[in-house]
């Protein structure tokens, strides 16, 4: 498997890349021999990914954090209040632009949207009219590099106290181009539970420190698409509270 190097490695830049593509593709499509149907489908794929990366994924992560907090509250809270579990409500899809020539509403598309976009880019580059200027404008100038051996990837993490928070240090170790996120778990003395799915190196655990000294342990593993890849990191432990 290969990953196109013109596609950014972090989510905010990926969203900007997708926005640039769908805004400019229509103007370049006739020159590159891209059919109206393929152009519309590629734009639909890009806008769907923008929604998933920029709206749905952050909302889901916030819900996941709320679930982790709910599990802790269910076990340890002394409030004696009937508990209501958090329910995930996805953000609404962008509606159609009513202005003349405006974009249609964002709709769900088949899986593999990014693969189709890369396929469309390959078609563009094979067109006789493709130039470096067009490629630069569309943001598709780059090379392809082989991905690393996922079986051996292993993140390195650290844990340090920062006031009432715990900072978890981590990075891509040079392989960020091929990875999507880092999965973090924590053990606060009751077994491993999910903590976060992070896409930006460095994470702050804002869980309040206990009143008595307690050992917390953290571990992490990289993820690509919807699955874990490589090995769990060595545990990073720290004594908090007191």
Every domain of the chain and the residues it spans: 2-55+88-146, 149-240
Quick one: average pLDDT of 36-61?
96
pLDDT in the model for residue 174? 83
Answer with the residue of higher pLDDT: 193 or 9.
193
Task: Give the whole-number percent of the chain exceeding pLDDT 90.
Answer: 73
Q: Is the pLDDT of residue 4 over 60?
A: no
Mean pLDDT on 2-18: 82
pLDDT greater than 90 at residue 63: yes
What does the pLDDT read at residue 148?
81
pLDDT in tens, 122-167: 999 999 999 999 999 999 987 656 668 889 999 999 999 999 899 9
Q: How far apart are CA 187 and CA 236, in angstroms?
A: 10
Q: Tokens at residue 239, please? A: 């004594």
The mean pLDDT of 164-172, rounded to a whole number, is: 94
Mean per-residue pLDDT of the chain: 91
Provide the CATH number for the domain formed by 149-240 in this structure: 2.60.40.10
Q: How far apart are CA 102 and CA 107, in angstroms?
A: 15
Q: Which long-range contacts (CB under 8 A, 24 or more apart) does 208-212 make?
A: 208/164, 209/161, 209/164, 209/166, 209/240, 209/241, 210/240, 210/241, 210/242, 211/241, 211/242, 212/241, 212/242
Q: Whole-angstrom Cα distance, residue 7 to residue 118?
A: 9
Residues 29/125, Cβ–Cβ less than 8 Å: no
The confidence score (pLDDT) of residue 2 equals 46
pLDDT greater than 60 at residue 223:
yes
Q: Is the pLDDT of residue 1 over 50?
A: no
Give pLDDT tens digits for 74-131. 988 877 889 999 999 999 999 999 888 888 999 999 999 999 999 999 999 999 999 9
Question: What pLDDT was estimated at residue 144?
Answer: 58
């Amino acid at each position: 498997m290969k990953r196109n190097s013109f596609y950014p490695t972090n989510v905010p830049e990926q969203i900007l890349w997708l926005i640039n593509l769908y805004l400019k593709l229509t103007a370049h499509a006739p020159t590159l021999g891209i059919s109206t149907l393929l152009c519309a489908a590629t734009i639909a794929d890009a806008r769907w990914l923008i929604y998933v990366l920029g709206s749905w994924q952050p909302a889901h992560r916030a819900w996941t954090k709320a679930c982790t907090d709910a599990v802790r509250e269910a076990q340890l809270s002394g409030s004696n209040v009937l508990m209501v579990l958090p329910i995930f409500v996805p953000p609404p899809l962008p509606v159609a632009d009513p202005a003349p020539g405006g974009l249609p509403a964002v709709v769900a598309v088949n899986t593999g949207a990014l693969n189709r976009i890369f396929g469309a880019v390959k078609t563009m580059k094979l067109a006789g009219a493709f130039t470096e200027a067009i490629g630069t404008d569309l943001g598709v100038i780059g090379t392809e590099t082989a991905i690393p051996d996922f079986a051996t990837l292993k993140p390195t993490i650290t844990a340090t106290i920062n006031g009432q928070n715990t900072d978890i240090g981590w990075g891509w170790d040079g392989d960020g181009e091929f990875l999507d996120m880092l999965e973090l778990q924590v053990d606060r003395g009751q077994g491993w539970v999910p903590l976060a799915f992070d896409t930006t190196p460095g994470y702050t655990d804002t869980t309040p420190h206990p009143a008595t000294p307690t050992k917390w342990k953290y571990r992490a593993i990289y993820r690509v698409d919807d699955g874990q890849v490589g090995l769990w990191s060595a545990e990073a432990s720290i004594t908090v509270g007191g």
